[in-house]
């Protein structure tokens, strides 16, 4: 049998009579079953790498070495959190560094300490004063992050606390002639008092009401300071606080000294952050995130108290920083209370990601760099900051440091979408059905049967039907023969049959019940005059059932 | 101290700030968005009105219409940037707050960059005459500002009460989820609301520019005032905003007569804190969880 336009049929019984030429006849064109087989069995889905990439470097290590752990005072924490496991393939012990943040922090600290050496000398003054501002601002932002992130009190008045402490300490220093080291301590007291005043409403107000209220408080402070004569309304700020810098230093060492002092302040803020966020108060508050306060309260967690405690401690630290601010800049300016300062510092928090210390520091670095180093851009640099802020808010859920988690969530979503499209559907069993089927042959039979029906559907042509109509019995073309074989070997249940009502007169199509003692049912109310007509009508019924399946 | 002068001043300011407060309040209650770009919309519409008065005509109607239309346009910009992309994303209220702050930062700097820091003044819309009402001398700009603010606000509130769109907005205020279930488009309503509140900001801007000037950062203080009035009145309540505006206006008048002008903000915030401590959701605010989403 060939696939030419007009294939021929050769009588297979002619091999018994080799002396006579083989009988040949024209027959219907036929589609090879191999085509459907190949198409069905072809590997259609796109190939994706199986399993997961190993994102972590696996360190070799013996199990015994895992128990050698350095713990640092005053916590019981290890320097690095290391997970040990056996690799099931290589049967070797492996170690994974679960939390690499300490490494990054160490590298960042080394970079910050060595930074003055690599700053180009052309813009040394600008960059170093900006770096000192970065240290102070990141300290403020870390404390603010405690309030917004850990305590989830949406206070916008953190810079107001700093400003109040800076103004208060400068005023006291001018009036009483205090030494410089008194200023941060007094500032801490002022910050505590200020925090008590603005923390009081936080117990009753929630979320945005408090944010808007604190925004008002900032505006109030600004207007008061701008109008008040004691606080330097004429000079645009109150100046004259003692500086912590030794008087004998030249300009370059002064900048260097103030940079390292600001860095030390940042380390102080980091320690405060770590001791609040990583210890009891932070744990308690992580138990009571937004919208789950009621549950936490029902569990006996006094989250309001914890929030107020965090707020007060942060305010005290902010006051301390305010005192340092007064020493550093020699006073305070109403700029601390301006709406733009609130905006820019909120940009710092948001860009880095709310609720993480590294986010506060990195966001501060980015914004301070744009704001203080790229001065040549003019107002354009605020637009740049605003654009970054807008982009981060619109596209990222948790700022720059949340990108990793967001990307993984997205990737897992895409993966499962692809997995869903890869499943083939048809006459096969559904996965649940397959697991519950006792006879596993059924699964493969159904799959094969579906493929066979797909193939046979393609064999049904007008020529084949015409062939059957003209000669229901006898020698057939391959296509028709395959169809008839498939129809004949179906099960007895609901199989069509021909009932003879009266020989050579009346035939009728029935469907067998498949059960002994149950009579076949009549399929249609029609009698056929000859057996060939009945055969063909039955064939058409079966073909229709096949095409509809 | 001239009591009647102070009182008329306070009433004028209360009308203008009340307009802003109603805008802020509507945005919050129907969209769940604290629009911190309101100050930007305010300044933008002031500049729009100024440009119209220079290039088209200094007719009062033209200037006012230009201000209101620019305000609506500003509202639409904010809606497109801060509401449409993230309104169904997690952590929407905080992100929207920060997005509007970013828009405000960019927009104000763009205004500063394009128009320069010098303040512009709008033409006098209401002429230059005085009226004598029960022995109180009221200048034309104050009377005009109060009357036009009250008239336009009344029109808008009537529209909110009687029209199909107003019904949609009020449904969103009651329960945004249920509103979206019964077929009210959240994004479409967002556009209506933001255009409406933007035009309110534009109106307030044009009216306030009669007394003050148009400057890139002129919107911040009115926005803070409007916010505090909306807070006192209760976010989401129009009658509350009116009551809040009257209370704040009275406080302003009384403080500046009895104590002096520099204590106005202090007494105002003490008053706000007191009111909020007694009623955490404002005078007329709903005491249950008003908006979850």
- pLDDT tens digits, residue range A468-491? 999 999 888 889 999 999 999 998
A vs B, Cβ pairs < 8 A, gives 120
Residues 6+ apart with CB under 8 A from A423: none
Which of A5-14, A30-39, A40-49, A103-112 bottoms out in mean pLDDT, i.e. has the lowest? A40-49
Burial A212-245, CB ≥16 within 10 A → b, else e: bbbbbbbbbbbbbbbeeeebbbeeebbeebbebb
- Local structure of residue A94 (DSSP, 8 states): E
Percentage above 70 pLDDT, chain B: 92
Any domain includes A109: no
Query: How many CA atoms, within 13 angstroms, populate the side-chain half-sphere of residue A16?
Result: 3
A50 in a structural domain:
no
How many helices and strands, by DSSP H and E, does chain A display? 19, 10
Q: What is the CA radius of gyration of chain A?
A: 42
Last residue of a domain, one of A309, A337, A365: A337
Same domain? A390 vs A281: no
Cβ <8 Å between B104 and A215 = no
What order of strands is seen across the sheet that includes strand A521-522? A496-502, A506-511, A521-522
Best of B224, B268, B288 to mutate (most A CBs within 10 Å, chain A):
B224
Peptide bond into A280 cis (omega under 30): no
Residue B48 has pLDDT above 50, yes or no: yes
Mutate which: A153, A383, A388, A410, vs B, most B CBs within 10 A = A383
B269–A217: do the CB atoms touch at under 8 Å?
yes
Residues A201 and A311 in one domain: yes
Using the predicted structure, report yes or no on whether residue B18 has a pLDDT greater than 60. yes
Give the model confidence (pLDDT) of A48-79 as tens digits. 666 666 677 888 876 566 566 778 887 787 88
Q: What is the pLDDT of residue A1?
A: 42
**Are A475 and A387 members of one domain?**
no
The pLDDT of residue B122 is 76
Q: Is residue A34 part of a domain?
A: no
Mean pLDDT of the region A350-359: 89
Q: How far apart are CA A392 and CA A398, in angstroms?
A: 8
Contact in structure between A336 and A159 (CB atoms under 8 Å): yes
Six-digit token string for A405: 């988690």
CA distances from A129 to A119, A252, A255, A380, A443 (A): 12, 11, 7, 21, 75
Task: Tell me whether residues A224 and B266 touch, CB distance under 8 A.
Answer: yes
Asked, for residue A11, whether it belongs to a domain, the answer is no
Mean pLDDT of A145-158: 88
Q: Is residue A91 part of a domain?
A: yes
Q: What is the average per-residue pLDDT within A150-168? A: 89
Of the given ranges (A95-99, A516-520, B255-259), which has the lowest mean pLDDT? Answer: B255-259
Question: What is the least distance, in Å, from the CA of A376 to any CA of chain B?
Answer: 14
Q: pLDDT tens digit string along B80-112? A: 998 999 888 888 888 888 899 899 989 988 988
**Cβ within 8 Å, pair B280-A209:** yes
The tally of CA atoms less than 13 A away on the side-chain side of residue A48 is 13
Residue of B nearest to A227 (CA): B262
Whether the pLDDT of residue B264 is over 90: the answer is no
pLDDT tens per residue across span A216-266: 888 888 888 887 777 776 677 788 888 888 878 788 888 899 999 999 999
Tell me which chain A residues have a C-beta less than 8 angstroms from the C-beta of B228.
Answer: 212-213, 216
Say whether B265 and A378 touch across the interface (CB within 8 A): no
Tell whether the model's pLDDT for residue A424 goes beyond 60: no
How far are the Cα atoms of B83, B176, B184, B186 from residue B181, in angstroms, in the given order?
19, 9, 7, 10
CB–CB of A343 and B101 under 8 A?
A: yes
The residue behind tokens 């297979």 is: A12
The kind and range of the H/E element at A112 are helix A101-118
Shortest Cα distance, chain B CAs vs residue A365, angstroms: 18
Q: How far is CA B165 from the centre of its chain?
A: 20
CB contact under 8 A, A209 and B281: yes
Tell whether A108 is covered by a domain.
no
Residue of B nearest to A351 (CA): B98
Q: Are residues A330 and A346 in the same domain?
A: no
Pick from A506, A499, A472: nearest CA to A487: A472
Q: What is the pLDDT of residue A133?
A: 92
Confidence class for position A422, pLDDT limits 50, 70, 90: low
Return the pLDDT at B286: 57
> What is the mean predicted confidence (pLDDT) over B240-253?
84
* Chain A nearest C-alpha distance from B231 (Å): 7
Question: Does residue A496 share a domain with residue A382?
Answer: no
pLDDT on residue B293: 40
Say whether both A74 and A173 belong to one domain.
no
In terms of domains, do A205 and A333 share one? yes
For residues A524 and A477, membership in a common domain is answered with yes
Give residue A2's pLDDT. 45
- The pLDDT-based confidence of B287 (bands split at 50, 70, 90) is very low
pLDDT score, position B116? 83
Contact A379 B102 (CB under 8 A): no
DSSP A276-325: HHSSHHHHHHHHS-TT-HHHHHHTT--HHHHHHHHHHHHHHHHHHHHHHH
| pLDDT score for A110 | 95
What integer pLDDT is reported at residue A144 of this predicted model? Answer: 93
Whether residue B105 and residue A205 make contact (CB cut-off 8 A), yes or no, is no
A43 within some domain: no
A215 and B224 within 8 Å at the Cβ level: the answer is yes
Alpha helices in chain B (DSSP H): 3-31, 38-55, 60-78, 92-115, 140-162, 164-174, 176-181, 186-208, 220-233, 238-258, 264-278
- List chain B domain ranges: 14-218
Same domain, A93 and A132: no
In 3D space, the residue among A116, A180, A537 whose CA is nearest the CA of residue A328 turns out to be A180
Which of A208, A378, A382 has its CB closest to that of B105?
A: A382
Most confident of A9-23, A287-301, A318-332, B125-139: A318-332
Instruction: Confirm whether A527 is domain-assigned.
Output: yes
Chain A positions in Cβ-Cβ contact with residue B117 (cut-off 8 Å): none
Instruction: Provide the residue range defining the domain that includes A347.
Output: 339-419
CB of B81 less than 8 A from some CB of A: yes
Question: Which of B34, B112, B221 lies closest to A208 in CB terms?
Answer: B34
The average pLDDT across B21-31 equals 86
DSSP-derived secondary structure letter, B79: I
Residue of chain B whose alpha carbon sits nearest to that of A154: B94
pLDDT in tens, B132-176: 666 666 777 778 888 888 888 888 888 888 999 889 888 888 888
Report the distance separating Cα B66 and Cα B214, nearest Å: 14
pLDDT tens digits along B52-81: 888 888 788 888 899 999 999 999 999 999
Give yes or no: residues A411 and A526 share one domain: no
Mean pLDDT check: name the lowest of A233-237, A306-310, A375-379.
A233-237
Residues A228 and A368 in one domain: no
Chain B residues near residue A350 by CB distance under 8 angstroms:
98
Put simply, the answer to whether B97 touches A224 (Cβ < 8 Å) is: no
Residues with Cβ within 8 Å of A322's Cβ and at least 6 positions away in sequence, in order, are: A161, A162, A163, A164, A165, A166, A168, A169, A187, A190, A191, A332
Q: In the prediction, which pLDDT does A28 show?
A: 78
The number of distinct structural domains making up chain A is 4
Report pLDDT for A540. 95
Report CB contact under 8 Å: A380, B113.
Answer: yes
| CB pair distance less than 8 Å for B109 and A223 | no
Q: Is A217 on the interface with B (CB under 8 A)?
A: yes
Is A337 within 8 Å of A218 (Cβ atoms)?
yes
For residue A240, the distance in angstroms to the closest alpha carbon of chain B comes to: 25
CA A202 → CA A127, A308, A319, B273, B277, distances in Å?
39, 8, 19, 10, 9
Mean pLDDT score of chain A = 86
CB B276 within 8 A of CB B231: yes
The predicted structure's pLDDT at residue B288: 45
- Which of the given ranges, A471-475, A482-486, B9-13, B225-229, has the highest pLDDT on average? A482-486
Q: How many CB atoms sit inside 10 A of residue A142's CB?
A: 30
Q: Is A273 found in the same domain as A135? A: yes
């Amino acid at each position: 049998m060939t696939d030419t336009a007009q294939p021929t049929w050769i009588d297979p019984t002619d091999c018994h009579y080799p002396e006579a030429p083989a009988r040949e006849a024209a027959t219907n064109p036929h589609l090879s079953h191999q085509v459907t087989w190949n198409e069905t069995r072809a590997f259609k889905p796109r190939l994706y790498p199986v399993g997961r990439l190993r994102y972590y470097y696996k360190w070799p290590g013996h199990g015994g070495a895992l128990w050698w752990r350095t713990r640092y005072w005053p916590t019981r924490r290890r320097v690095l959190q290391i997970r040990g496991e056996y690799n099931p393939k290589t049967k070797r012990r492996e170690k994974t560094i679960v939390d690499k943040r300490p490494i990054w922090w160490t590298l960042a600290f080394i970079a910050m300490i060595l930074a003055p050496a690599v700053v180009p000398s052309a813009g040394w003054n600008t960059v170093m004063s900006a770096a000192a501002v970065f240290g102070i601002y990141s300290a403020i932002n870390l404390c603010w992050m405690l309030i917004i992130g850990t305590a989830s009190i949406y206070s916008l008045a953190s810079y107001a606390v700093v400003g109040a402490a800076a103004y208060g300490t400068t005023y006291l220093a001018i009036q009483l002639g205090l030494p410089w080291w008194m200023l941060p301590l007094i500032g801490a007291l002022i910050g505590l008092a200020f925090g008590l005043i603005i923390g009081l409403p936080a117990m009753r107000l929630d979320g945005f009401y408090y944010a808007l209220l604190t925004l008002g408080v900032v505006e109030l402070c600004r207007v008061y300071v701008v109008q008040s004569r004691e606080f330097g309304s004429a000079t645009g700020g109150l100046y004259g606080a003692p500086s912590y810098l030794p008087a004998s230093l030249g300009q370059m060492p002064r900048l260097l000294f103030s940079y390292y002092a600001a860095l030390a302040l940042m380390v102080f803020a980091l320690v405060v952050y770590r001791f609040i966020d990583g210890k009891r108060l932070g744990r308690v508050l992580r138990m009571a995130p937004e919208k789950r306060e009621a549950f936490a309260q029902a569990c006996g967690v006094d989250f309001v108290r914890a929030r107020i405690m965090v707020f007060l401690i942060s305010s005290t630290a902010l006051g301390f920083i305010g005192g340092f601010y007064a020493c550093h800049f020699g006073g305070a300016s109403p700029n601390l209370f301006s709406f733009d300062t609130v905006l820019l510092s909120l940009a710092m928090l948001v860009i880095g990601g709310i609720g993480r210390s590294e986010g506060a520091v990195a966001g501060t670095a980015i914004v301070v760099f744009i704001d203080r180093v790229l001065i040549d851009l003019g107002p354009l640099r605020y637009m740049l900051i605003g654009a970054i802020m807008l982009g981060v808010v619109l596209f990222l859920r948790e700022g720059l440091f949340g990108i990793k988690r967001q990307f993984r969530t997205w990737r897992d979503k895409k993966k499962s979408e692809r997995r869903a499209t890869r499943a083939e559907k048809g006459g096969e069993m559904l996965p649940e059905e397959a697991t519950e089927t006792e006879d596993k042959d059924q699964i493969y039979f159904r799959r094969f049967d579906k493929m066979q029906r797909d193939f046979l559907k393609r064999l049904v042509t007008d020529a084949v039907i015409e062939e059957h109509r003209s000669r229901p019995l006898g020698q057939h073309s391959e296509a028709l023969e395959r169809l008839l074989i498939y129809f004949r070997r179906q099960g007895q249940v609901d199989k069509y049959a021909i009932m003879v009502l009266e020989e050579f007169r009346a035939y009728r199509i029935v469907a067998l019940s498949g059960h002994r003692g149950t009579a076949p049912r009549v399929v249609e109310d029609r009698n056929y005059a000859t057996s060939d007509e009945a055969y063909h009508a039955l064939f058409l019924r079966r073909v229709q059932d096949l095409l509809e399946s | 101290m001239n009591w009647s002068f102070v009182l008329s001043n306070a009433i004028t300011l209360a009308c203008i700030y009340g307009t802003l407060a109603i805008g802020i309040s509507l945005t919050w209650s129907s969209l769940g968005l604290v629009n911190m770009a309101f100050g930007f919309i305010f300044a933008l519409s002031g500049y729009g009105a100024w440009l119209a008065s220079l290039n088209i005509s200094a007719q009062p109607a033209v200037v006012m219409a230009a201000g209101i239309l620019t305000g609506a346009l500003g509202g639409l910009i904010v809606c497109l940037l801060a509401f449409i992309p993230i309104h169904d994303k997690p952590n929407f209220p905080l992100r929207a707050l920060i997005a509007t702050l970013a828009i405000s930062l960019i927009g104000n700097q763009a205004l500063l960059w394009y128009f320069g820091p010098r303040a512009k003044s709008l033409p006098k819309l209401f002429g230059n005459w005085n009226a004598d009402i029960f022995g109180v001398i009221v200048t034309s700009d104050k009377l005009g500002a109060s009357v036009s603010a009250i008239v336009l606000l009344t029109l808008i509130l009537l529209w909110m009460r009687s029209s199909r769109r107003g019904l949609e907005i009020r449904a969103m205020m009651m329960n945004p989820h249920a509103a979206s279930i019964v077929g009210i488009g959240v994004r479409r309503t967002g556009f209506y609301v933001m255009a409406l509140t933007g035009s309110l900001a534009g109106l307030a801007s044009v009216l306030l520019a009669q007394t003050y000037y148009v400057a890139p950062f002129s919107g911040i203080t009115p926005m803070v005032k409007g916010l505090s009035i909306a807070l006192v009145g209760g976010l989401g309540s129009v009658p509350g905003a009116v009551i809040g505006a009257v209370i704040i206006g009275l406080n302003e008048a009384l403080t500046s007569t009895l104590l002096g002008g520099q204590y106005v903000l202090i007494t105002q915030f003490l008053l706000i804190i007191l009111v909020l401590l007694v009623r955490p959701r404002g005078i007329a605010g709903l005491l249950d969880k008003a908006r979850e989403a």
